[in-house]
Amino acid sequence: MGAAAGREIHDLEHERFLEEVHSFEFWFQSVEGYLAGTTYGHRTETADESPTGAVERQRLITVLSNYCIGEMAALEGASGLIAIAPNQLTKIFLSTQVADEGRHLEVLLHRMRELGVKHPAQEADRRASRSLKQFRAELLKLVQGRDWEAAIFAQNVILESLEFAVFRAHAEGADAITKEVLEGIIKDERRHIGFGENELGRRLHGAPHIRTRLTRVREELDHLVLSMLEDSSREIGVPPDQQGELARSYLQSVERLGFT
């Protein structure tokens, strides 16, 4: 561990770099940096500026409900992927992702509880959008079908990029506690989207024929993603003229992989 300590990190051999960043040790020391001193994703001393108006409060609860179901899908997806991961290092990385997704679900449910929801898991299930639930079902089908590339594409590229874009936009205008919770999640998501994009990028480079299959997966999921984006933009209050920016942020990652 720590072969690069004291050296220029960019001089590492690529294989050694991947060993480092996919390890439990790396994850462990990374999350320590930003989770130490927090309880359920935020500092206890952070001022509670939750919306007091009934409409705003209900809207936030609905937004968090959708996030919970998204994180539940990610937890199910990541845990299922461990069984089909191609090697030990990847299994270990996915295990850290499983813990991240579990943590996200937990802090979001806790936030709902702080907002007065008595049974947040049931409430989340009741409020979540239909397109998100359908996406969750489609993702699980890919995982259960043991299709590594398609499942990674749906989970770590599409779902994670979407969450990354939405959470960033929401954090900008959120109340202090929700903002801290989301910022912690965003830091985790960086690892997940990076892992997905790089893993798929390498595979597409080595076996370009995979692209046809993934294009089909994308076509099947696209309408759900666009619908989820539309719902999220409306709920978190992104002005119509800025909604395109949110979509662009999501689309960039799939475009970097050559899906236009």
Partner 1 sequence: MVDPLESSDDDPVQRRRFLLEDTGFDEVPARYRRFYRKWRGAGDQLAPNEAICPVCKVVIRSSRELWPGDRLYCMPCMSRLVVVEATDGRLEAHVSY
Partner 2 sequence: MADTIDAYSIQNWLESCPQSYLENTEYGHAAGEKEPDFFLQNEVLLEETIKATVQLVVGERCALSASSGLINAAPDEASRRFLATQTLDEARHVEVFTQRLYDLGVRKKDLEGTIQRYANPNLVKFAEVLLEKIDRKDFISGVVGQNIVLEGMAFSVFEMMYAMNESVNPKFAHTLSGTIADERRHVGFGENRIGSLIREHPEKRGEVEQMQKEMSYFMLATFADAFRNNRTVDELEAAGIERPHSQYQGVDLGVMAPEDMEQVLADTVLKEFKTRLGRIGIEYQTPTRP
Structure tokens at 94: 């996915």
Choose the binding region for partner 2 from 70-78, 166-174, 185-193, 232-240 (rule: CB under 8 A).
70-78
42 in helix, strand or coil? strand
Angle, CA 212 vertex, CA 192 and CA 150 arms, to 5°: 30
Q: Please give the Cα distance from 20 to 5 (Å, whole number).
A: 11
Site mask for partner 2 (CB under 8 A), range 36-55, x = bound: x--xx---------------
The answer to the question of residue 252 lying near partner 2 (CB under 8 A) is: no
Binding at 101: pick from partner 1, partner 2, none (beta carbon under 5-8 Å per type) = partner 2
The answer to the question of residue 138 lying near partner 2 (CB under 8 A) is: no
Q: Which of 89, 121, 87, 211 is nearest to 157 (CA)?
A: 211
Decide: 184 and 196 in contact? Cβ < 8 Å: no
Site mask for partner 1 (CB under 8 A), range 14-43, x = bound: x--xx--xx---x--xx--xx---------
Q: Which of 135, 30, 120, 33 is nearest to 76 (CA)?
A: 135
What's CA 78's distance to the chain center, in Å? 11
List the one residue from 3, 7, 24, 172 that touches partner 2 (CB under 8 A).
Answer: 24
Decide: 8 and 17 in contact? Cβ < 8 Å: no
Applying CB under 8 A, the residues found at the interface with partner 2 are 1-2, 23-25, 28, 31-32, 35-36, 39-40, 72, 75-76, 79-80, 82-83, 88, 91-92, 94-96, 98-99, 101-103, 105-106, 109, 121, 140
Applying CB under 8 A, the residues found at the interface with partner 1 are 2, 4-6, 8-12, 14, 17-18, 21-22, 26, 29-30, 33-34, 164, 187, 190-191, 193-195, 197-198, 201-202, 204-205, 252-253, 256
